[in-house]
Amino acid sequence: MLDDPTRKYQPFRPIRLRDRRWPDHTITRPPVWMSTDLRDGNQALFEPMDVERKRALYDCLVDVGFREIEVGFPSASQADYDFVRHLIDSDAIPEGVWIEVLTQARPDLIKRTFEAVAGAPRVIVHVYNATSPVFREVVFRQSAEGVQTMAVEAARQIRGLAAERPETAWRFQYSPETFSTTEPEFALSVVDAVTAVWDASADAPVIINLPATVEMASPNVYADQIEWMHRHLARREGIVLSVHPHNDRGTGVAAAELALMAGADRVEGCLFGNGERTGNVDLVTLALNLYTQGVHPGLDFSRINDVLRTVEHCTEIPVHPRHPYVGDLVFTAFSGSHQDAIRKGFAVQPEDGLWSVPYLTIDPRDLGRSYESVIRVNSQSGKGGMAYLMEQAYGVTLPRRLQVEFSRVVQAHMDAGGGEVAAEALWEIFEREYLRLESPIHYIGHSLFDAGGRQGLRLRIRRDGQVITLNGSGNGPIDALLDALGSPVRVRHYEEHSLSHGSDAGAVCFMELAAGGIDGDVYGVGMDANIVTASVRAVLSGVNRMASQAPAVLGNAASVARNASP
């Protein structure tokens, strides 16, 4: 890079609009949407779409609710011509849908364009020529008047050809390509001349599309340009004012939003921002940005993953995992404090109330996405995320202090080289730590009996390969179990709940235990169809976890010989 970039790059000179009004406006209704996926999107692919892929994307666009779809540049290639014919000949243009076709402002290409759309029910003919100084001087080698004449003559030709074909409903569209780098007065002059030829009026409006063919300035500059045109156009009431932002500076969506605030009525773009170079403006993001402000966009993305799959299949370009609303990771939190807030937000989110889950601008379910991937656990995660996964995937609600204890176990696993821990892996760690820990004491079974008005319990365990039977009595089964074990452990807290899903076991029991020689409390967990068995297992799980630090907790089970069954 240059030490002094001014030697190579000049700042964009913005339009002078001191009394701009757009900053005070908000967008309260959706624009008219025009998808150019099959034209601007298609012309930006390694390999342009074949008829099968174009048709799949076209059907998807119709399903989503687009009513204006630019289906190609039929004078440019036989493939585009054939696709337009395919739509018309196979009667694939539903009521209310307008196909749009692009042509340069050249007589032969305009003629061929009309041949391509013969017999179509509704067509928008879109003609363009570039208007900026560099195009006038370098590409067309024409004066400003010459370039304006090119547009006007094309407009005349289009009007004449359409009049000869009354069986089709026509709309006309003109784009001064490179509008955003054209002097505003000249762009206005060309557009006014074109709309005069087409006799644009409120009863017979035409579309004037003002592209940022290459995004060269910040979005506020584009908004000023659009507002200036909006306020100066001679036949504004006869114009559907359209914008066509590209995304060279990464601000295409912002440019479109500010342009709508500045007076635009219509937006052209592509799904997920496909298109030339860095893409056309992303219509999905724009539409869903509106939705999250309570404005229905008039496009339906309730099955956004299906739309994504179709677009990826047709364009053969993968959509980034962080792409707004649709990327694999955009509803995923790895970091602990985010997970904690999301989990708490979900817990209090009313089914039909205003959406207020922290960190999520939209309810993933509105887009047909699930909550499954919202919280994922790695080394950045805390107890909340793990607890959420255990609850969602296995129906196990961990008590708060167990969350803290278990998160240390999981953290140790990750520090030992683990990356992301999926729900299944988390469960595996949980099982290994709490449920399958059968050493030193291996539980075989127990039975309850009446011990002279107290609860009696007979416990059968295996210890070092020997089966041992221990008897005890108490106020209840746990008391009787501890008596049978002769263990000095104390039960600090005890919780049990039934499992809603994720396991065949009916209940899970969490036993918070304490014992001399052990720093702090230790959890044991038991699961079983029977709630007493679950609690017996929970005590033994905790005792086993404490045994290496404080062998005394094994009580009578510490000595095999004394208690071994015959």
Ligand X SMILES: CC(C)C(=O)C(=O)O
Q: Closest CB to ligand X among 200 and 243?
A: 243
Report helix angle 107-116 to 78-89, nearest 10. Answer: 30
Closest distance to ligand X from the beta carbon of 49 (Å): 17
Region binding ligand X by CB under 6 A among candidate stretches 190-198, 206-214, 330-338, 515-523 = 206-214
Kindly state whether residue 211 participates in binding ligand X, applying the rule CB under 6 A. Answer: yes
Cα 339 to Cα 385: distance, rounded to the nearest angstrom = 5
User: Which of the choices ligand X, ligand ACO, none does residue 73 contact, using the CB cut-off of 5 to 8 A by kind?
Assistant: ligand ACO
Contact residues for ligand ACO (CB under 6 A)? Answer: 40, 43, 73, 76-77, 104-106, 128-129, 139-140, 177, 213
Closest distance to ligand ACO from the beta carbon of 76 (Å): 3
- Kind and range of the H or E run holding 461: strand 454-463
Q: Which residue from 103, 113, 148, 209 is in contact with ligand X, where contact means CB under 6 A?
A: 209
Residue 373 sits at φ, ψ, to 5 deg, of: -95, 5
Closest distance to ligand ACO from the beta carbon of 100 (Å): 13
- Could you tell me the maximum CA-CA distance found in the chain, to the nearest angstrom? 113
Which ranges of 462-530 does DSSP label H, i.e. alpha helix? 477-485
Cα 263 to Cα 226: distance, rounded to the nearest angstrom = 7
User: Which of the choices ligand ACO, ligand X, none does residue 195 contact, using the CB cut-off of 5 to 8 A by kind?
Assistant: none
User: Which of the choices ligand X, ligand ACO, none does residue 228 contact, using the CB cut-off of 5 to 8 A by kind?
Assistant: none
**Other beta carbons within 10 Å of 139:** 13
Which ranges of 460-516 does DSSP label H, i.e. alpha helix? 477-485
Helix and strand totals (H; E) in the chain: 17, 14
Q: For residue 70, give the 3-state DSSP assignment.
A: strand
User: Which of the choices ligand X, ligand ACO, none does residue 43 contact, using the CB cut-off of 5 to 8 A by kind?
Assistant: ligand ACO
User: Which of the choices ligand X, ligand ACO, none does residue 446 contact, using the CB cut-off of 5 to 8 A by kind?
Assistant: none
Closest distance to ligand X from the beta carbon of 102 (Å): 6
User: Which of the choices ligand X, ligand ACO, none does residue 346 contact, using the CB cut-off of 5 to 8 A by kind?
Assistant: none
280 assigned binding-site residue? yes
Kindly state whether residue 128 participates in binding ligand X, applying the rule CB under 6 A. Answer: yes
Kindly state whether residue 177 participates in binding ligand X, applying the rule CB under 6 A. Answer: yes
**Other beta carbons within 10 Å of 148:** 22
Cα 169 to Cα 239: distance, rounded to the nearest angstrom = 17
Kindly state whether residue 195 participates in binding ligand X, applying the rule CB under 6 A. Answer: no
Closest distance to ligand ACO from the beta carbon of 146 (Å): 11
Tokens 């404490």 map to which residue?
Answer: 546
Site map 10..49 versus ligand X, x via CB under 6 A: ------------------------------x---------
- Kind and range of the H or E run holding 537: helix 531-547
Contacts of 248 (CB under 8 A, 6+ apart): 214, 215, 216, 277, 278
In the complex, the residues that contact ligand X under the rule CB under 6 A are 40, 102, 128, 175, 177, 209, 211, 213, 244, 246
